[in-house]
Amino acid sequence: MASKSWSPTYLANQLWAKQPKANAELFALTYGALVAELVRDLETNDKIQAELDRMGHSMGIRSVEEFLAKASLEPQSQTAVTCSQFKDTSDVLKMALKMFLGITTEAGVQEDSHFSIQFAENPLSLFVELPPDRSDLEYSQLLCGYVRGMLEMLQFDVTVTMAQSVLRGDEVNEMRVDLNQVLQAGAGDDYQEE
Amino acid sequence: MPVHSLHVFDRKGKTLFTKCYAQNKANKVDDGEQLSEKRKLVFGMLFSLKEVAASLSPSSIKDNGVHSVQTGASTCYCLETASGLRFALYITDDADKTHARSIRKAMQHAYNDIWIQSVVRSPLYNPVTPNVQATNFETNLDAFLVSQSWYR
Protein backbone atom coordinates (compact mmCIF):
# COMPACT_ATOMS: atom_id res chain seq x y z
CA MET A 1 0.00 0.00 0.00
CA ALA A 2 2.83 2.40 0.79
CA SER A 3 3.90 2.51 -2.83
CA LYS A 4 0.60 3.98 -3.92
CA SER A 5 0.22 7.71 -4.06
CA TRP A 6 -3.17 7.77 -2.38
CA SER A 7 -4.27 6.78 1.04
CA PRO A 8 -7.76 5.37 1.58
CA THR A 9 -8.07 7.09 4.94
CA TYR A 10 -7.19 10.47 3.53
CA LEU A 11 -9.55 10.06 0.63
CA ALA A 12 -12.32 8.86 2.92
CA ASN A 13 -11.93 11.94 5.10
CA GLN A 14 -12.04 14.19 2.06
CA LEU A 15 -15.25 12.55 0.89
CA TRP A 16 -16.82 12.68 4.33
CA ALA A 17 -16.01 16.38 4.66
CA LYS A 18 -17.89 17.15 1.47
CA GLN A 19 -20.98 15.11 2.26
CA PRO A 20 -24.07 16.92 3.52
CA LYS A 21 -24.65 15.82 7.13
CA ALA A 22 -27.79 14.78 8.90
CA ASN A 23 -28.33 14.95 12.63
CA ALA A 24 -26.99 11.71 14.12
CA GLU A 25 -29.70 11.45 16.76
CA LEU A 26 -32.48 11.99 14.26
CA PHE A 27 -30.88 9.36 12.05
CA ALA A 28 -30.56 6.83 14.84
CA LEU A 29 -34.11 7.43 16.06
CA THR A 30 -35.54 7.15 12.58
CA TYR A 31 -33.79 3.85 12.07
CA GLY A 32 -34.98 2.73 15.50
CA ALA A 33 -38.54 3.57 14.54
CA LEU A 34 -38.15 1.56 11.36
CA VAL A 35 -36.87 -1.49 13.19
CA ALA A 36 -39.58 -1.16 15.84
CA GLU A 37 -42.19 -1.08 13.09
CA LEU A 38 -40.76 -4.23 11.56
CA VAL A 39 -40.70 -5.94 14.94
CA ARG A 40 -44.41 -5.21 15.29
CA ASP A 41 -45.28 -6.30 11.75
CA LEU A 42 -43.14 -9.38 11.37
CA GLU A 43 -42.87 -11.93 14.08
CA THR A 44 -39.63 -13.80 13.87
CA ASN A 45 -36.13 -12.41 13.96
CA ASP A 46 -35.38 -14.14 10.69
CA LYS A 47 -38.15 -12.31 8.88
CA ILE A 48 -37.15 -8.98 10.38
CA GLN A 49 -33.56 -9.47 9.38
CA ALA A 50 -34.50 -10.57 5.89
CA GLU A 51 -36.55 -7.42 5.46
CA LEU A 52 -33.78 -5.18 6.80
CA ASP A 53 -31.34 -6.94 4.52
CA ARG A 54 -33.59 -6.36 1.53
CA MET A 55 -33.94 -2.66 2.36
CA GLY A 56 -30.21 -2.28 2.77
CA HIS A 57 -29.65 -4.05 -0.51
CA SER A 58 -31.85 -1.56 -2.37
CA MET A 59 -30.01 1.31 -0.73
CA GLY A 60 -26.65 -0.21 -1.57
CA ILE A 61 -27.28 -0.66 -5.27
CA ARG A 62 -28.21 2.98 -5.50
CA SER A 63 -25.62 4.62 -3.35
CA VAL A 64 -22.69 2.79 -4.88
CA GLU A 65 -23.19 4.97 -7.95
CA GLU A 66 -22.98 8.12 -5.91
CA PHE A 67 -19.89 6.88 -4.15
CA LEU A 68 -18.13 5.96 -7.38
CA ALA A 69 -19.01 9.28 -8.95
CA LYS A 70 -17.80 11.34 -6.00
CA ALA A 71 -14.70 9.29 -5.36
CA SER A 72 -13.61 9.55 -8.97
CA LEU A 73 -13.79 13.32 -8.72
CA GLU A 74 -11.04 13.41 -6.11
CA PRO A 75 -7.75 14.08 -7.86
CA GLN A 76 -5.80 11.51 -5.81
CA SER A 77 -8.11 8.71 -6.65
CA GLN A 78 -7.14 7.98 -10.23
CA THR A 79 -6.32 4.40 -9.44
CA ALA A 80 -8.04 4.10 -6.09
CA VAL A 81 -11.54 3.31 -7.09
CA THR A 82 -11.08 0.50 -9.53
CA CYS A 83 -12.39 -2.56 -7.76
CA SER A 84 -11.10 -5.11 -10.20
CA GLN A 85 -9.81 -7.38 -7.46
CA PHE A 86 -11.85 -8.58 -4.54
CA LYS A 87 -9.15 -7.66 -2.03
CA ASP A 88 -9.20 -4.04 -3.27
CA THR A 89 -12.83 -3.77 -2.31
CA SER A 90 -12.15 -3.73 1.42
CA ASP A 91 -10.39 -0.37 1.09
CA VAL A 92 -13.12 0.93 -1.13
CA LEU A 93 -15.74 -0.29 1.30
CA LYS A 94 -14.02 1.51 4.15
CA MET A 95 -14.13 4.71 2.13
CA ALA A 96 -17.80 4.26 1.33
CA LEU A 97 -18.75 3.61 4.96
CA LYS A 98 -16.85 6.70 6.04
CA MET A 99 -18.43 8.79 3.33
CA PHE A 100 -22.04 7.81 4.01
CA LEU A 101 -22.04 6.99 7.70
CA GLY A 102 -18.96 8.73 9.05
CA ILE A 103 -17.71 5.57 10.72
CA THR A 104 -14.02 4.92 10.87
CA THR A 105 -13.27 1.28 10.26
CA GLU A 106 -10.29 -0.94 10.74
CA ALA A 107 -9.36 -3.92 8.72
CA GLY A 108 -9.76 -7.25 10.45
CA VAL A 109 -9.00 -10.49 8.65
CA GLN A 110 -7.80 -10.14 5.08
CA GLU A 111 -7.88 -13.26 2.96
CA ASP A 112 -8.40 -13.93 -0.70
CA SER A 113 -11.99 -14.94 -0.40
CA HIS A 114 -13.12 -13.11 2.69
CA PHE A 115 -12.32 -10.09 4.78
CA SER A 116 -13.75 -8.41 7.80
CA ILE A 117 -13.94 -4.81 8.90
CA GLN A 118 -14.24 -3.63 12.46
CA PHE A 119 -15.74 -0.45 13.78
CA ALA A 120 -16.24 0.70 17.33
CA GLU A 121 -19.07 3.11 16.72
CA ASN A 122 -22.25 2.16 14.99
CA PRO A 123 -24.44 5.20 14.29
CA LEU A 124 -27.46 2.96 13.81
CA SER A 125 -27.38 1.56 17.31
CA LEU A 126 -27.17 4.79 19.27
CA PHE A 127 -29.52 4.59 22.32
CA VAL A 128 -30.31 0.97 21.57
CA GLU A 129 -30.73 -1.82 24.08
CA LEU A 130 -32.10 -5.11 22.91
CA PRO A 131 -34.91 -6.48 25.09
CA PRO A 132 -34.29 -10.00 26.49
CA ASP A 133 -36.79 -11.65 24.13
CA ARG A 134 -35.05 -10.13 21.11
CA SER A 135 -31.52 -10.52 22.36
CA ASP A 136 -30.31 -12.28 19.23
CA LEU A 137 -31.90 -9.93 16.74
CA GLU A 138 -29.24 -8.57 14.40
CA TYR A 139 -30.23 -4.93 14.76
CA SER A 140 -27.85 -3.62 12.13
CA GLN A 141 -28.67 -6.18 9.45
CA LEU A 142 -29.44 -3.25 7.18
CA LEU A 143 -25.72 -2.54 6.96
CA CYS A 144 -25.06 -6.08 5.77
CA GLY A 145 -27.63 -5.76 3.02
CA TYR A 146 -26.19 -2.39 2.16
CA VAL A 147 -22.70 -3.76 1.67
CA ARG A 148 -24.08 -6.73 -0.26
CA GLY A 149 -25.92 -4.37 -2.62
CA MET A 150 -22.89 -2.21 -3.21
CA LEU A 151 -20.59 -5.11 -3.97
CA GLU A 152 -23.19 -6.74 -6.19
CA MET A 153 -23.06 -3.70 -8.45
CA LEU A 154 -19.30 -4.19 -8.70
CA GLN A 155 -19.76 -7.80 -9.84
CA PHE A 156 -19.01 -9.46 -6.52
CA ASP A 157 -21.57 -11.87 -5.15
CA VAL A 158 -20.95 -11.83 -1.42
CA THR A 159 -22.47 -12.93 1.85
CA VAL A 160 -22.27 -10.35 4.59
CA THR A 161 -22.80 -11.10 8.25
CA MET A 162 -22.19 -9.32 11.50
CA ALA A 163 -19.58 -11.49 13.16
CA GLN A 164 -19.53 -9.39 16.30
CA SER A 165 -21.86 -6.72 17.57
CA VAL A 166 -21.60 -4.39 20.53
CA LEU A 167 -25.33 -4.77 21.10
CA ARG A 168 -24.87 -8.47 21.74
CA GLY A 169 -22.09 -7.82 24.20
CA ASP A 170 -19.01 -8.02 22.00
CA GLU A 171 -16.29 -5.44 22.34
CA VAL A 172 -16.42 -4.23 18.78
CA ASN A 173 -18.66 -4.42 15.74
CA GLU A 174 -17.27 -6.67 13.09
CA MET A 175 -18.69 -7.20 9.66
CA ARG A 176 -17.58 -10.23 7.74
CA VAL A 177 -17.71 -10.29 3.95
CA ASP A 178 -17.42 -13.65 2.18
CA LEU A 179 -16.95 -13.83 -1.54
CA ASN A 180 -19.22 -16.39 -3.18
CA GLN A 181 -18.31 -15.72 -6.78
CA VAL A 182 -17.26 -13.01 -9.15
CA LEU A 183 -20.14 -12.40 -11.52
CA GLN A 184 -19.24 -12.58 -15.16
CA ALA A 185 -19.59 -9.57 -17.38
CA GLY A 186 -21.44 -10.13 -20.59
CA ALA A 187 -24.59 -9.45 -22.44
CA GLY A 188 -27.68 -10.63 -20.60
CA ASP A 189 -31.15 -11.71 -21.58
CA ASP A 190 -32.43 -8.18 -21.90
CA TYR A 191 -29.86 -7.51 -24.55
CA GLN A 192 -30.81 -10.61 -26.49
CA GLU A 193 -34.51 -9.89 -26.33
CA GLU A 194 -34.52 -6.22 -27.10
CA MET B 1 -26.24 19.71 -35.06
CA PRO B 2 -23.19 17.88 -33.73
CA VAL B 3 -24.93 15.98 -30.95
CA HIS B 4 -26.62 13.08 -32.66
CA SER B 5 -27.76 10.77 -29.92
CA LEU B 6 -27.11 9.53 -26.42
CA HIS B 7 -27.58 6.03 -25.09
CA VAL B 8 -27.20 4.70 -21.57
CA PHE B 9 -26.73 0.96 -21.14
CA ASP B 10 -26.44 -1.13 -18.03
CA ARG B 11 -23.87 -3.87 -17.56
CA LYS B 12 -25.97 -6.45 -19.30
CA GLY B 13 -26.64 -4.33 -22.35
CA LYS B 14 -30.12 -3.27 -21.43
CA THR B 15 -30.93 0.20 -22.69
CA LEU B 16 -31.77 2.43 -19.76
CA PHE B 17 -32.11 5.64 -21.68
CA THR B 18 -31.87 6.66 -25.29
CA LYS B 19 -32.50 9.88 -27.09
CA CYS B 20 -31.86 10.98 -30.64
CA TYR B 21 -31.20 14.68 -31.01
CA ALA B 22 -30.58 14.84 -34.75
CA GLN B 23 -33.66 15.50 -36.82
CA ASN B 24 -32.63 14.54 -40.29
CA LYS B 25 -35.15 13.03 -42.65
CA ALA B 26 -33.49 9.67 -42.84
CA ASN B 27 -34.29 9.02 -39.20
CA LYS B 28 -38.01 9.51 -39.58
CA VAL B 29 -38.46 6.23 -41.37
CA ASP B 30 -36.75 4.35 -38.57
CA ASP B 31 -39.22 2.28 -36.67
CA GLY B 32 -38.79 1.00 -33.18
CA GLU B 33 -37.30 -2.27 -34.26
CA GLN B 34 -34.58 -0.63 -36.30
CA LEU B 35 -33.75 1.71 -33.46
CA SER B 36 -33.38 -1.09 -30.99
CA GLU B 37 -31.28 -2.96 -33.52
CA LYS B 38 -29.03 0.09 -33.72
CA ARG B 39 -28.69 0.30 -29.96
CA LYS B 40 -27.76 -3.35 -29.89
CA LEU B 41 -25.05 -2.69 -32.42
CA VAL B 42 -23.66 0.22 -30.43
CA PHE B 43 -23.54 -1.78 -27.24
CA GLY B 44 -22.10 -4.81 -29.02
CA MET B 45 -19.39 -2.71 -30.57
CA LEU B 46 -18.38 -1.05 -27.30
CA PHE B 47 -18.49 -4.34 -25.46
CA SER B 48 -16.33 -6.16 -28.01
CA LEU B 49 -13.91 -3.27 -28.34
CA LYS B 50 -13.36 -3.32 -24.62
CA GLU B 51 -12.61 -7.03 -24.69
CA VAL B 52 -10.16 -6.52 -27.53
CA ALA B 53 -8.55 -3.56 -25.83
CA ALA B 54 -8.21 -5.47 -22.58
CA SER B 55 -6.50 -8.41 -24.25
CA LEU B 56 -4.13 -6.21 -26.23
CA SER B 57 -3.16 -3.63 -23.65
CA PRO B 58 -0.04 -4.01 -21.52
CA SER B 59 -1.13 -5.52 -18.26
CA SER B 60 0.50 -2.86 -16.12
CA ILE B 61 -2.06 -0.28 -17.17
CA LYS B 62 -5.43 -0.90 -15.61
CA ASP B 63 -7.51 1.68 -17.37
CA ASN B 64 -8.24 -0.04 -20.65
CA GLY B 65 -11.73 1.32 -21.17
CA VAL B 66 -12.72 2.62 -24.58
CA HIS B 67 -12.92 6.41 -24.57
CA SER B 68 -14.05 7.14 -28.08
CA VAL B 69 -14.53 5.57 -31.46
CA GLN B 70 -14.01 7.80 -34.44
CA THR B 71 -15.15 7.35 -38.01
CA GLY B 72 -15.14 9.71 -40.95
CA ALA B 73 -18.58 11.03 -40.19
CA SER B 74 -18.90 10.89 -36.45
CA THR B 75 -17.33 10.16 -33.11
CA CYS B 76 -18.83 8.01 -30.40
CA TYR B 77 -17.70 9.03 -26.94
CA CYS B 78 -18.01 6.33 -24.35
CA LEU B 79 -17.91 6.51 -20.59
CA GLU B 80 -17.99 3.33 -18.58
CA THR B 81 -18.43 3.44 -14.83
CA ALA B 82 -17.19 0.88 -12.33
CA SER B 83 -20.77 -0.14 -11.72
CA GLY B 84 -21.04 -1.15 -15.35
CA LEU B 85 -23.09 1.71 -16.76
CA ARG B 86 -22.09 2.78 -20.25
CA PHE B 87 -22.86 6.22 -21.60
CA ALA B 88 -22.45 6.48 -25.37
CA LEU B 89 -22.69 9.89 -26.98
CA TYR B 90 -22.70 10.19 -30.76
CA ILE B 91 -21.36 13.42 -32.12
CA THR B 92 -21.26 14.22 -35.82
CA ASP B 93 -18.85 16.60 -37.57
CA ASP B 94 -16.27 16.72 -34.82
CA ALA B 95 -13.44 16.40 -37.29
CA ASP B 96 -11.04 18.76 -35.56
CA LYS B 97 -11.31 16.96 -32.21
CA THR B 98 -10.91 20.23 -30.36
CA HIS B 99 -13.80 19.40 -28.12
CA ALA B 100 -12.71 15.92 -27.18
CA ARG B 101 -11.57 16.86 -23.69
CA SER B 102 -14.54 18.99 -22.89
CA ILE B 103 -16.93 16.34 -24.18
CA ARG B 104 -15.34 13.75 -21.94
CA LYS B 105 -15.69 16.11 -19.00
CA ALA B 106 -19.27 16.74 -19.97
CA MET B 107 -20.00 13.03 -19.93
CA GLN B 108 -18.45 12.75 -16.49
CA HIS B 109 -20.72 15.57 -15.43
CA ALA B 110 -23.71 13.83 -16.97
CA TYR B 111 -22.96 10.81 -14.78
CA ASN B 112 -21.62 12.49 -11.64
CA ASP B 113 -24.22 15.17 -11.32
CA ILE B 114 -27.15 14.63 -13.62
CA TRP B 115 -27.49 10.85 -13.42
CA ILE B 116 -26.84 10.67 -9.70
CA GLN B 117 -29.10 13.57 -8.83
CA SER B 118 -31.95 12.87 -11.21
CA VAL B 119 -32.00 9.10 -11.43
CA VAL B 120 -30.20 7.39 -8.58
CA ARG B 121 -31.66 9.69 -5.96
CA SER B 122 -35.10 9.77 -7.44
CA PRO B 123 -37.71 7.86 -5.47
CA LEU B 124 -39.54 7.21 -8.74
CA TYR B 125 -36.64 5.26 -10.16
CA ASN B 126 -36.66 1.53 -9.61
CA PRO B 127 -33.24 -0.08 -10.08
CA VAL B 128 -34.73 -3.53 -10.60
CA THR B 129 -36.98 -2.53 -13.49
CA PRO B 130 -35.30 0.66 -14.65
CA ASN B 131 -37.64 3.46 -15.63
CA VAL B 132 -35.49 6.46 -16.37
CA GLN B 133 -38.34 8.10 -18.26
CA ALA B 134 -40.20 8.58 -14.98
CA THR B 135 -37.44 10.84 -13.67
CA ASN B 136 -36.41 14.28 -14.79
CA PHE B 137 -33.10 13.02 -16.19
CA GLU B 138 -34.07 13.94 -19.74
CA THR B 139 -34.99 17.51 -18.83
CA ASN B 140 -31.82 18.08 -16.88
CA LEU B 141 -29.67 16.45 -19.52
CA ASP B 142 -31.17 18.53 -22.30
CA ALA B 143 -30.65 21.73 -20.36
CA PHE B 144 -27.03 20.79 -19.79
CA LEU B 145 -26.29 19.73 -23.37
CA VAL B 146 -27.85 22.82 -24.88
CA SER B 147 -25.60 24.98 -22.71
CA GLN B 148 -22.46 23.38 -24.17
CA SER B 149 -20.52 25.18 -26.87
CA TRP B 150 -20.29 22.09 -29.06
CA TYR B 151 -24.01 21.33 -28.99
CA ARG B 152 -24.67 23.16 -32.27
pLDDT per residue as tens digits for the range A102-141: 888 888 888 888 899 999 888 888 888 888 888 888 899 9
For residue A134, the enclosing domain spans 2-184
What pLDDT, on a 0 to 100 scale, did the predictor assign at position A41?
92
CB contact under 8 A, A187 and B85: no
What is the CATH number for A102? 3.30.1380.20
Residue A192, domain member (yes or no): no
The secondary structure element, H or E, covering residue A178 is strand A173-182
Q: How far apart are CA A78 and CA A80, in angstroms?
A: 6
Contact yes or no for B127 and A61 at CB 8 A: yes
Please report whether residue A9 resides in a domain.
yes
Q: What b/e sequence results for A123-133 when a residue is b if at least 16 CB atoms lie within 10 Å of its CB, and e otherwise?
A: bbbeeeebeee
- Nearest residue in B to A81, CA atom: B82
pLDDT at A63: 87
The mean per-residue pLDDT over the stretch B54-58 comes to: 78
- C-alpha closest to that of A160 among A114, A126, A110: A114
B139 touches A: beta carbon within 8 Å? no
- Indicate the residue of A61, A79, A189 with minimum beta-carbon distance to B62: A79
A104 Cα to chain B: minimum distance (Å): 24
% of chain A residues with pLDDT over 90: 31
pLDDT in tens, A69-79: 888 776 655 54
* Domains: count for chain A: 1
Q: What mean pLDDT do residues B78-107 have?
A: 80
Q: Among 3.40.50.720, 3.40.50.620, 3.90.79.10, 3.30.450.70, what is the CATH number of B3-111?
A: 3.30.450.70
Nearest to B14 among A65, A72, A190 (CB): A190
| Least confident interval from A6-10, A129-133, B43-47, B137-141 | A6-10
Q: What is the DSSP letter of B86?
A: E
* Residue B147 touches chain A, beta carbons under 8 Å: no
What pLDDT sits at residue A93?
Answer: 87
